[in-house]
Amino acid sequence: MTENTQLMPAIFIDRDGTLIEEVNFLSRVEDLRIFPFTKPALEAFVAAGFRLFIVTNQSGIGRELFTENDMHDIHEALREAFGGLITGFYYCPHLPNAGCDCRKPNTALIERAASEHNIDLSRSWFIGDKDLDVRTGINAGTKTCLVLTGYGEKHKEILEDQPTLIADNIGEAAREIIALLRG
């Protein structure tokens, strides 16, 4: 990294249940349902100076329920719907017991994104709807937000670690995180 390279803050976001409605093993673009508050939240984050990354476990690939191409089609549909607001998509295709370092709550995907895009993890956030997402953010050294969409309401009761913030949805999370940023 050169002296002129400034580290940027980022928002790392779980996909299913956080940005979009939870569909067990989403495999078809036709089944994709984006929450109405998602795009305005993403726009607010970008306007506040954050880069946005989707970080998602997609074990349906390892289970052979859908292909990587199916997942890429869904990500392309999201990229189009969000008008290029997402800087990058990072995913783990492995089974839960595969022992990889990329499956949340491990941090290889976040570390790779941070390295490739000059991200300051100490000024970044991880937003998701599961205890696993909160642990991922803590493990990576980011602040964390649990949203109550998807599995969030249920996971709020079983959290191993307290998130920095709990919000009803990603829209409220954006408002609260940006308010904290502005002091």
Task: From the candidates 16, 129, 131, 133, give the one annotated as an active-site residue.
Answer: 16
Cα–Cα distance between 160 and 168 in angstroms, integer?
19
H helices within 11-122, ranges in order? 38-47, 59-62, 68-81, 108-117
Cβ neighbours around 46 below 10 Å, total: 18
Name, in order, each residue with C-beta under 8 angstroms of 59's C-beta and a sequence gap of 6 or more.
92, 93, 94, 95, 96, 103
> Looking at the DSSP assignment, which residues form a beta bridge with residue 10?
51
Cα–Cα distance between 53 and 51 in angstroms, integer?
7
Catalytic, 14? Answer yes
Catalytic, 120? Answer no
Task: From the candidates 14, 129, 131, 133, give the one annotated as an active-site residue.
Answer: 14
Would you say 144 and 115 are in contact if contact means Cβ atoms under 8 Å apart? no
Amino acid letter for position 161 = D
The helix/strand/coil state of 125 is strand
Would you say 17 and 130 are in contact if contact means Cβ atoms under 8 Å apart? yes
Which residues are the active-site residues?
A: 14, 16
